[in-house]
Amino acid sequence: MIKPDRECLRERILELVEEMGRTSRFSDYSLARSDFSLLLKIKSIIPGWFTTAKNAWEYAGLTREDLVQAFDDACGRS
């Protein structure tokens, strides 16, 4: 199995978070994340590689704070 490209994975995760920020009816990251099913969508980017969404975003060099910041930026709150 070929290792996923970190930069590509990073871009795809951030795209999902930005989409969530633009479309969510919630302005709170945690509520929006649950409503949008963000964690499942992150895990589905590369099925079978990561046991958790956190493993995926950490592999891509992201932190939870990075995700929250991308969400806030997409909501226009930064």
Amino acid 1: pLDDT: 56
With bands split at pLDDT 50, 70 and 90, how would you rate the model's confidence at 49?
confident
CA distance 12 to 21: 14
Report if residue 29 sits inside a domain: yes
Report if residue 42 sits inside a domain: yes
Report if residue 11 sits inside a domain: yes
Report if residue 37 sits inside a domain: yes
Report if residue 43 sits inside a domain: yes
Q: Is the full-model pTM beyond 0.75?
A: yes
Domain count, the chain: 1
Report if residue 1 sits inside a domain: no
Domain of 39, in residue numbers: 6-75
